[in-house]
Homo-oligomer: A and B are copies of this chain.
Amino acid sequence: MNVHQAWEGYAQSCCANAHNGDRCAACKVRLHSICAALDTRDLRELDALAQPFCFKPKQTLFVESEAVDAVYTVTEGVVRFYRIFPDGRRQILGFALPGDFIGLSLKERHAFSADAVGPVSVCRFPRTSFQRLTEEKPHLLRRLQEFTAHELTAAQQQITLLGRFTAEVKITSFLIAMRDRWSRLNGPSATVSLPMGRQDIADFLGLTIETVSRVFARLAREKQIVNLPNGVTLVDVSGLEARAANVAAPPDFASAGLT
């Protein structure tokens, strides 16, 4: 756990422009985060628990089977969740984007490891304090339940994708899902930021880096996408959606807005 390192290296510059007690109110991802369940009064309580942190690229947030001592809301950057197997292979379980919550399960020990893909800022809450808050504020618990249910739906989506589809379908579905997630945060755009590398995408989709690379190359050759330094532009969206097939995401979560 490199939290102290993170703190010492970065914390001074995090959220520097808000006074204690107002930081949450000023939070840019609040309405996308679990904190949207709280009113102004409750928010100050949460604010008292909040510890802003930053992590450098590749820095570890926590490691599988470690005791859970905190939960987090991602405020900037992307976090990857993963497991490593004895033979060195890795399965990425998901990516947390700004507004996403880390620690839904409120379990004693981490079920996976997490580290920063690029530079990441988080809002950290000590587990016991946060848990007490969920016991006092049913709204917050309800919101936690909604987030967990949403994650479960996403996981079932992923099961579907991994179980039955070809490399091309997996990758086009991934691109469209990422577009939808960024769109929810930043508004619609055909350009999709992909801060994670090819190996990350491969380990997420159960493919090898070579297969991922080949499919990206083919999609670009067929003018479905344009490859950019850290992402892609979706050129033929309807063509891609057709290839992604009926693994479309369910109605939506954007509607959740304020509970």
Assess the B152–A145 pair: CB atoms within 8 A: no
Known contacts: A145-B141, A251-B109. The answer to whether A159 contacts B160 by CB under 8 A is no
Binds B, one of A41-49, A53-61, A82-90, A185-193: A82-90
Q: Interface digits, A138-150 against B, CB 8 Å rule (1 contact, 0 not)?
A: 1001101110111
| Shortest Cβ-Cβ A-B pairs, 8 listed | A163-B206, A155-B155, A105-B149, A162-B162, A148-B148, A145-B145, A152-B152, A91-B160
Q: Does A51 contact B (CB under 8 A)?
A: no
User: Is A250 an interface residue, CB under 8 A from the partner?
Assistant: yes
A85→B164 contact, CB < 8 A? yes
B251 touches A108 (CB 8 A): yes
B105, B150, B159, B205: which contacts A91 (Cβ < 8 A)?
B159
Is the CB–CB distance between A105 and B152 below 8 Å? yes
1/0 contact trace for A152-189 toward B, CB 8 Å?
11011011101110000000000000000000000000
